[in-house]
Chain A
Amino acid sequence: KAGVTQTPRYLIKTRGQQVTLSCSPISGHRSVSWYQQTPGQGLQFLFEYFSETQRNKGNFPGRFSGRQFSNSRSEMNVSTLELGDSALYLCASSQGVSGNTIYFGEGSWLTVV
C-alpha cells in the first residue's frame, strides 16, 4: 500500500510569511503526527492528530498549528516564519492505538530566508 505522502518536498519562504504543509497518511491509519528535524535539535515532536482532534502537543510556540480532515489527511501551518524555523518537517502516520509504530514520510524541506 502507498506510504506516507508529504507535499511540498521543498520550499523557500521569507521571514514573516506563513507556510502550510500537507500530509496524507497510510490508508487506514487514523493518527498523524508531525516532527521537526534540525541538525542542532534532532527530531522534535510537534503534535499528533487522531480522528480530527489534536491529541498531544509538543513544546512549540503557538505559531505552529495543525489540523486533520475527516479522511485523515493533515496539514500543519507555521505563521510569522523565523529563520530558526528552517528545518525538515516530517509527518508520521500510525493506526493510533497502543502498541503501534509510526511510519514517516519523506519530509518537507523548509528554508526561511
Chain B
Amino acid sequence: GQQLNQSPQSMFIQEGEDVSMNCTSSSIFNTWLWYKQDPGEGPVLLIALYKAGELTSNGRLTAQFGITRKDSFLNISASIPSDVGIYFCAGQESWDNYGQNFVFGPGTRLSVLP
C-alpha cells in the first residue's frame, strides 16, 4: 500500500539536543498526525494538524503542516532519555463517504545518548 516518505530513518543524538524529522508525500493531504511508539506498545498521538501552514506545539514538541500540503515536520527541543522511541507520521488524503484511511510513514527511530 501507499506509504509516506519519512526521514531520517534513524538518528542518534545527545541528551539536550534538538531533533527534527519530516514526512513527505506525493499526494495532497488534509490531515497530518504524529505518533510515538515505544517497544511493545501501540502508537500514542503527539500532535494533530488539520490546516496547511498550521504550526502546533505540545510541550517540547512542535509540528507543522506544510504549505504545499504534501509534507509535515516534527521538532523536539532539548531531548531527554524518555524521548527514545519510533516516531511515525500519518496522513489522510481526503475525507469522503468511504471513511478514513490513514497512511503511515515507515518511522524515525530516535536514540538519545546520555
Contacts and interface: CB of A to CB of B under 8 A. Distances in A.
Contacts of B40: 109
Chain B contact surface mostly: loop
Interface string A73-84: 000000000000
Contact of A50 (B88, B95, B99, B105): B99
A47 to B, nearest CB: 9
A99 B94 CA distance: 10
Given A42-B3, A90-B43, A106-B42, A99 B50 contact: yes
Nearest to B4: A42
Given A58-B1, A59-B1, A101-B33, A45 B102 contact: yes
Interface string B74-110: 0000000000000010100001001111111111000
Contact of A101 (B45, B103, B104): B45
A101 B48 contact: yes
Contacts of A103: 45
B28 to A, nearest CB: 15
A58 B90 CA distance: 15
B100 A33 contact: yes
Contact of B100 (A6, A94, A105, A109): A94
Contact of B103 (A4, A45, A100, A106): A45
A31 interface: yes
A106 B37 CA distance: 10
A101 B30 CA distance: 12
Contacts of B11: none
A63 interface: no
B44 interface: yes
Interface of B: 1, 3, 31, 33, 35, 40-45, 48, 50, 88, 90, 95, 98-107
The 9 closest A-B pairs by CB, nearest first: A55-B99, A104-B42, A43-B104, A98-B95, A56-B99, A101-B48, A106-B42, A107-B42, A104-B43
Given A90-B43, A96-B99, A98-B95, 5 more contacts: A43-B90, A50-B99, A58-B1, A101-B31, A104-B43
